[in-house]
Amino acid sequence: MRMLIMGPPGAGKGTQGKKVAEEFGIPEISTGAIFRSNVAEKTELGKVVSAIMEKGELVPDSVTVDLVADRLAKPDTAPGFLLDGFPRTVPQAEALDGILAKLGIALDAVLSLVVDGETLVQRMMKRAEIEGRADDNEETIRRRFEVYTAETEPLLALYRDRGLLVEVDGLGAVDEVHARIVAALKK
Ligand code: AMP
């Protein structure tokens, strides 16, 4: 099972992505999580991306694409993988096509979590309190939505045209949403 999980900021990609990956026995690869751990460990990459992330902007495509290409070349992705937070731009989606073509593999599904905007802002403010993520303040949250709408949302149409898009209502308890996802994927 090779899949992507997409959705606006705060839609629950991380939470649901981990659960789905566990269910299918595949690694969950979150570019955001990889960037955050580099920031925490103060690596060279972490120094490059920390200010970008705090502003709610996107890390340059070249940096992100190289990171994903390296990660997908690792042997643990043989049974499949779930990419969370990548691709986020049209050039990243094109780069992913190239990476997968080189590996001789293709995507099976693109999961899209659908949640309305007001719910999301409330969720993110709550997460800001609980997790204390540096990019969970109001100004950054607003910017992340703008970036999502401008750069990432157009990818949904691209994957819909390819017949890969699986849309799931992301509103409700974690287990409820998870059950919906599993049912939708089995179809
Ligand atoms: P996330 O955890 O997916 O919400 O990502 C947190 C932040 O990491 C984003 O707001 C971006 O600054 C950065 N990031 C994560 N994935 C990407 C990506 N595919 N392209 C560019 N920046 C990314």
State whether the beta carbon of 32 lies less than 6 angstroms from ligand 1: yes
DSSP assignment letter at 78 = T
Sequence-ordered list of residues with C-beta below 8 angstroms from that of 185, at least 6 positions apart, any chain: 1, 3, 20, 109, 111, 166
Structure tokens at 74: 């690792």
Asked if residue 124 lies in contact with residue 141, where contact means CB atoms within 8 angstroms, the answer is: yes
What is the H or E stretch that residue 106 is in?
none
For residue 86, give the ligand 1 atom closest to its CA. Answer: 19
Q: How confident is the model over 173-182, as a mean pLDDT?
A: 96
Q: Which of 2, 36, 71, 144 is catalytic?
A: 144
With tokens 């703008």, the residue in question is: 146
Instruction: Render pLDDT for 65-123 as a digit per residue (tens, 0 to 9).
Output: 999 999 999 999 999 999 999 999 999 999 999 999 999 999 999 999 999 877 887 77
State whether the beta carbon of 31 lies less than 6 angstroms from ligand 1: yes
Instruction: Render pLDDT for 116-173 as a digit per residue (tens, 0 to 9).
Output: 877 887 777 787 778 777 677 778 888 888 999 999 999 999 999 999 999 999 999 9
The reported pLDDT for the residue numbered 119 is: 81
Cα 39 to the center of its chain, rounded Å: 18
Structural domains in the chain, sorted by start: 2-186 (3.40.50.300)
This prediction's pTM? 0.92
- For residue 168, give Cα distances in angstroms to 113, 118, 139, 151: 5, 18, 28, 21
What is the H or E stretch that residue 70 is in?
helix 61-72
| 74 classed as catalytic | no
| 71 classed as catalytic | no
Mean pLDDT of the chain, nearest integer: 93
DSSP for 38-55 reads: HHHTT-HHHHHHHHHHHH
| 127 classed as catalytic | yes
Instruction: Tell me the CA–centroid distance for residue 49 and ligand 1, in Å.
Output: 9
DSSP assignment letter at 60 = P
| 133 classed as catalytic | yes
